[in-house]
Amino acid sequence: MIERQKTIKQSVSLSGTGLHTGQRGTLTFHPAEANHGIKFRRIDVEGQPIVEARVENVVDTSRGTTIAQNGIRVYTVEHILASLRGAGVDNVLIDINCEEPPIQDGSARYMLEALKSAGIVEQDAEREYLRLKKAVTYFHPKIGCEISIKPADDFRMEVSVDYNSQVLKPQSATLRSMADFEKEIAPCRTFVFFQELEMLLKHNLIKGGDLSTAIVFVEDVVPAGELQRVAKLFNMESVGIHQGGILNNTTLHFENEPARHKLLDLIGDMALLGKPILGHVKAFKPGHLANTEFVKMIIENLE
């Protein structure tokens, strides 16, 4: 059975604040012709330059995946790319009027909903799947990360995480079909440990973050004064801690939501291959650096 490439039926926009830059802007998905791929257009820059969503354009992987072309950057693209893969969209032009897309709630849910509301349409061109010559394994000894893919006739993914934490226990997540992405993976939000918040702020990150854009795990006992100080930093009256070690501004959608979000990130980063791939992926403690290095290894081992 021949599968057709897909794009969206009409343009659709989302507005909000970028997680790390704090810039408020608008993201607009436009239909694109067959074989166009996924491209960003920085409409706030003279000449409206294009930045292609390709792994060779990755320039930074600290707390997110940043791509750039001819010196023009787009930050934190992984959730957008995951939502496009989840919607089955091959070709789209994405206008953005700042450097970083809106973080929304830290998941891919609202981006996927926007794409579906625009309508997904087939195009008069066959979808090409990438295939492997052999199994590929990436290993990073310093962080203990390992990601592998073996040739197959479908696409599946299993992700496990272990942060040696008392509150975020070792856990895993599985995606057996991209048809399950919308319900099982898209709503899963990014997460952070409480003790990382101040460090991220000091390093000029999460300027657009608030406590509604991530799950915050609290590893140690935190004095009431410290909780109040953090609440003030994020413009909240107060915060507390749920039993189980999560700030009480939110509750988990799934018991293994962190592992599911890491799976979401890996799908987004693997979209930088440029085309969907067939294979079974297994990952332990993936992150954006490992993910993108893994994608480069895949490219070297394609049929």
The catalytic residue positions are 288
Residue 260 and residue 254: Cα distance in Å, rounded? 9
Q: Is residue 36 classed as helix, strand or coil in its secondary structure? A: coil
| Inter-axis angle of helices 257-270 and 78-87, nearest 10 | 80
Q: What angle do CA 85, 69, 200 make, to 5 degrees?
A: 75
Residue 108 and residue 99: Cα distance in Å, rounded? 18
Compute the chain's Rg from CA coordinates.
19
Residue 20 and residue 213: Cα distance in Å, rounded? 11
Amino acid at 261: H
Q: Which of 95, 58, 73, 56 is nearest to 20 (CA)?
A: 73
Place of tokens 């993936």: 286
Residue 117 and residue 164: Cα distance in Å, rounded? 41
CA dihedral 132, 137, 140, 141 (to 10 degrees): -170
Residue 83, burial from CB neighbour count under 10 angstroms (0-12, 13-18, 19+): buried
Amino acid at 117: S
149 strand-pairing partners? 136, 281
